[in-house]
Structure 1
Amino acid sequence: MTHAHQMGFRALADPTRRGILHLLAERDMTIAEVAENFQMTRAAVKKHLTILKEGDLISIQTIGRTRVNAINPDGLRQISDWFSYFDAFWDEHLSVLKTEIEKDTT
C-alpha cells in the first residue's frame, strides 16, 4: 500500500471527513461554507480539510483571499480501485470455497 493510500484511508476513517466529502461532492465550498454544516469551529474544519488534502481526496485552490475546496476525482478513484481489487480477490476465493463445499455435499 502506498503512502497516498494510507493517507487516503486515514482521511476516510473519520465520519466528519466523510460528511465533508459528501458536501463537496455536491459543489465546491469555502472553509466557512463547510463549517456551516458542522457544530465545530472553522479551525477544526480546516484541520479536517487539511487531512483530506493530504489524502489526495480534495484539492484546495486559492482564489484571491478565498480558499475553495473541491473533490479530487483522481484521488477518490485510486481508493476505489484499491477496494475493487480486494472485492475481486474475495469474490474469486469465495467462489472457490463454494465449489469445494458443494463437492463435499454431493
Structure 2
Amino acid sequence: MNGLGIFGGTTIEYRNPTYTRDHGSLTLTWPEEWQTLDGCDLQDPATAVDSKNREGTLNQYTLYMPEGSPVADNAQVRVNNQMLQVDGMVLRFPDPLEILAYCKATLKAWKG
C-alpha cells in the first residue's frame, strides 16, 4: 500500500518467470504455483484492440500496483480467471515524499 493507504481494490495472482536454456537459447518458464498481490488497479485498454495478420487480436491493459510490488518483468498475471502477461518491464515510480509511489505494467492478452 502507498502512504495514503489507498490504491486499488483488485487482487491479482501472478507468477514470475525464470530463464532456462533450451537448445542454447534462453526461454522463459513459469512455476506452477501462483502468488497473490492485493491493492492493485487494472485499467481497460486505451485502444480497443490490435490485429496482427488476421491471426489474432491483442488486448493491452494497464496494471497499477503498490510500491515494492514483487511482480517481475514478463510475469504471468491472472485476474478474474483471465490469463495475461506483463509486456516487457514493470516500471517503478518512486515518490520522494513516500506518499504516491507505485509500480505500473502493461499487460497483454492474445485471442485467436
Greater strand fraction, Structure 1 or Structure 2? 2
Greater helix fraction, Structure 1 or Structure 2? 1
Same-fold status (TM-score > 0.5): no
TM-score by length of 2: 0.29
TM-score by length of 1: 0.30
